[in-house]
Structure 1
């Protein structure tokens, strides 16, 4: 079995152990590593993160104890992903962003994500559509099992993977990195939105319509469904903080065609 080509980055010296755990866990949580995938060798992974091999072994041990990784001995062995599900507790820096700072991230997301979806419509391959479809099916399976709140973190992880997969469908690694950063910083706001019933059925529905819009390559259709998608989380943040975000969106963020219609002579 070949190792999966996933880029790892240096870990900050003052948090080497926690940083190594978080980085591996995040790659799995975002869907960049899946159950059955093999991580790079210990030597390669320690070099990529710029940490010692004993530190990496301790991080792997924690992830193995959590049921996320398994280490197999022998010439065909290595470190393998055991589970697609990563407990949110392994991402210790989740709470680094305060709730009142989420507004800036929401504004950045509104500026970026609709354009990401439109670029995905241009560059997506059939395997991207198949992967997005499977993520929606897995969310529906959780909903069909009963109370989504009993599986809220699993549902949230699939939601995050859906958005990351759209970014990956663009074929642009810089965009993937941007979306990864935005989504990680939105954990608090996304968790707030998920607790508001009946959000789970709506999330599945809007994901289905988002996928259909991207398949259609109709940029106005993508714009409409993404506006609905983003507005839901913005409203959740407003209810949680009793503050208002700027809506409707500023003129410079509106589609060129729409601005042209607004300025047409009577």
Structure 2
């Protein structure tokens, strides 16, 4: 019934697909949608992104989620507010921008703290995630492997957070990474280059291992910039205007005025 989501505003298009089927009578009041795993697979989006779409539609009264035996996602009405998706999309895209801004504010400092505190066990955990990525590529990487690849990517970033040696920082990064899953989906229809990700992780780990906090910042700047650029291209908006100089990518910061 549902088709792959093609744009990078994935949760918006997912919500639009469901809403359109209600508007056209393909889905009627009381109809049960496919299970979360099945529906996400049909749309070729992540389950967290599907949850964002469902959240929009539940808040608008289009869907209801029932718990317990016989539960699931059900159509609650055959009337869909005309401006539903348009109004919500602006809000949610703004929230994604805030998550990306928070990441730029937090993660480079976390990586620099790891450069001071990381242990051999921390480096072993980072290396393990890099090795798993390499194994996935060596086995013949296909688009179906993207979810697994991104799960391993999360493993690397959590290992980096643990290496900072601060439980509160690790908890903060876990929360931030969960929020980033939506932003990640926005970048996924840009060609994913596993080799680039592997290399940027290797360079990050080596900079941390050397304790080179300046190099850590440069590598993290490059790493974070990829997702930020994808967001700007697909949403057709800048992350934040105006952006303080200390949050700008290093390459965009103004050079000091000559004395």
Report whether the alignment pairs 1:124 with 2:89. Answer: no
Q: What TM-score does the superposition give when structure 1 sets the normalisation length?
A: 0.59
Partner of 1:143: 137
Unaligned 5+ runs, structure 1? 1-87
**For 1:1-266, what aligned pairs fall within 5 Å after superposition?**
89=47, 93=51, 98-246=92-240, 250-253=244-247, 262=256, 266=259
Measured in 2, the distance between the counterparts of 1:240 and 1:194 equals 11
SS in structure 2 of the partner of residue 262 of structure 1: coil
> Whole-Å Cα distance in 2 between the matches of residues 209 and 119 of structure 1?
16
Shift of 1:201: 1.3
**Alpha-carbon distance in 1 for matches of 2:236, 2:172:** 28
Post-superposition shift, 1:192?
Answer: 2.9
* C-alpha contact 2:187 2:230 (8 A) present in aligned 1: yes
TM-score between both structures, scaled by the size of structure 2 = 0.60
Post-superposition shift, 1:140?
A: 1.1
Greater relative contact order (Cα < 8 A, sep 6+) = 2
Per-residue CA distance 1:57-79 (angstroms, 9 max, x = gap): xxxxxxxxxxxxxxxxxxxxxxx
Q: After TM superposition, give the deviation of residue 234 of structure 1 in Å.
A: 0.2
Q: Is the 8 A contact 1:121 1:216 kept in 2?
A: yes
Provide the C-alpha distance between the structure 2 equivalents of 1:163 and 1:217, rounded to a whole number of angstroms. 17
Structure 2: gaps (5+ residues): 1-45, 57-91
RMSD after superposition: 2.9
